[in-house]
Structure 1
């Protein structure tokens, strides 16, 4: 597979795809957490009813697809040094777009109280559809 000006070895490609898969799974976890969790964001203790939001908003179904496109678009951007953006329409698919921005750190730059630690993740999850 050609990547810019260099050929990627099978091992390099495998590492890259494993990294993309791990990123995609993390983005999906964040999207699920935004929809369902108000406490215990890292599942540090067994899940209990009080950890679940009372009001569930957002559609899980669109989140994995949006994160998949985001992950692979980033790969194409890096490999071909492209200048492009990801545009997603409004609606209940917000977790599928907000999760990647939290994961890459840009959400926390704009909203510092949603830091990239357990406390920030709890606030990130809880604020979506709050008061939930």
Structure 2
């Protein structure tokens, strides 16, 4: 168990919390501790009923099931690999700049998600990190 703990502690700080949240939030929904309908982005509830947690939880939530488990694992791999590479490469020693880039991308994705009625924001944010890393 210490090997897993050592590996987890070796992940850069921002990526570590993002990765852990992307595992914990779907697990809470899958175990039934929180109703998954509270974790996705519904623009009507977010804009008119002041449920301000929805963009945050929609960023970390992914409905894991028999048909989507592989896609979830691939996205976790992308999150770990490319966020770690970006945080230790282009943004090495500048965690505030990396956090600002993530925040800016997240705000743009939330605005797009509200306009286009996207309910899950995990994949677009991971793909934005992959895009920034590749350019």
Q: Which structure would you say has the larger Rg?
A: 1
Query: Relative contact order: is structure 1 or structure 2 higher (C-alpha 8 Å, sep ≥ 6)?
Result: 1
Q: TM-score, normalised by structure 1?
A: 0.33
| Structure with more helix by fraction | 2
